[in-house]
Structure 1
Amino acid sequence: MLQFPRVASLVSLLGCVILLGCSTSPKQESTGEYLDDGVITTKVIAAILHEPGLKSAEINVETFKNQVQLSGFVSTQTEIDLATRVTNTVKGVKHVKNDLRLK
């Protein structure tokens, strides 16, 4: 009869460990967040591709927890500003960090 409480405690402890392993931290994403960020990245790239004033081949896009980072080189300050505006219009983007540089 003493075995049942020990097994139940062990199963409860194992369940807690598994749940804690699935949680996220400020430096890690869950699987769902990772997939969501991939969708946002794809949408931002598509928006930049469809913007005639931007040369998308020279703009890199990375997303982490709905925050988009733009990097690369463009010819004018107008392109930097336009890239930020276009990125902000994409659904799901919470913040844009624009690290674009002038050539």
Structure 2
Amino acid sequence: MNHKLTASFLVAGLLLLPVAGYTADAEKSTPTEYVKDSVITTKIKAELAAEKMSSLVKINVDTDKAGAVTLSGTAASQAAVDKAVSIAKGVKGVTHVKNDIKVVADK
């Protein structure tokens, strides 16, 4: 009987461990910050898509809570890279744009 009780508490503790981990992560950013970050990212992605340049589709956008945007991925030309950076800088709420886009010629 004692072993069953101990095992039950052990299983219950293991099941609650992810909840405790999630709670610790939730303290790092607030829902408001997350929404702000995702709104900026979504606006940039929408404007990149509106340009209808196939190489802009291969660009990843990441925004941190301070409004700093990181662009990564590949583009077919330097002009496409410059256009992507210009679009990102023009979005309201963006404080800084880091360009990690590589120019790769399509074969």
**After the TM superposition, which parts of structure 1 deviate over 4 Å for at least 4 consecutive aligned residues?**
none
Whichever structure has more helix as a proportion of its residues is: 2
2:93 aligns with: 92
CA gap of 1:56–1:79, structure 2 versus 1, over 3 A, is closer
Q: How many residues align?
A: 78
- State the Cα distance separating 1:57 from its structure 2 match: 2.3
- Structure 2 stretches of 5 or more lacking a match? 1-23
Q: Which amino acid aligns with 1:78?
A: A
- Structure 1 stretches of 5 or more lacking a match? 1-20
Q: TM-score, with normalisation over the residues of structure 2?
A: 0.65
2:76 aligns with: 75
Q: C-alpha distance in 2, partners of 1:97/1:57?
A: 18
What are the residue-to-residue correspondences of 1:50-61 with 2, within 5 Å?
50-53=50-53, 55-61=55-61
Q: TM-score, with normalisation over the residues of structure 1?
A: 0.68
Q: Quick check: 67-76 or 45-54, which moved more?
A: 45-54
RMSD: 1.8
Q: C-alpha distance in 2, partners of 1:102/1:70?
A: 13
Aligned sequence identity (%): 40
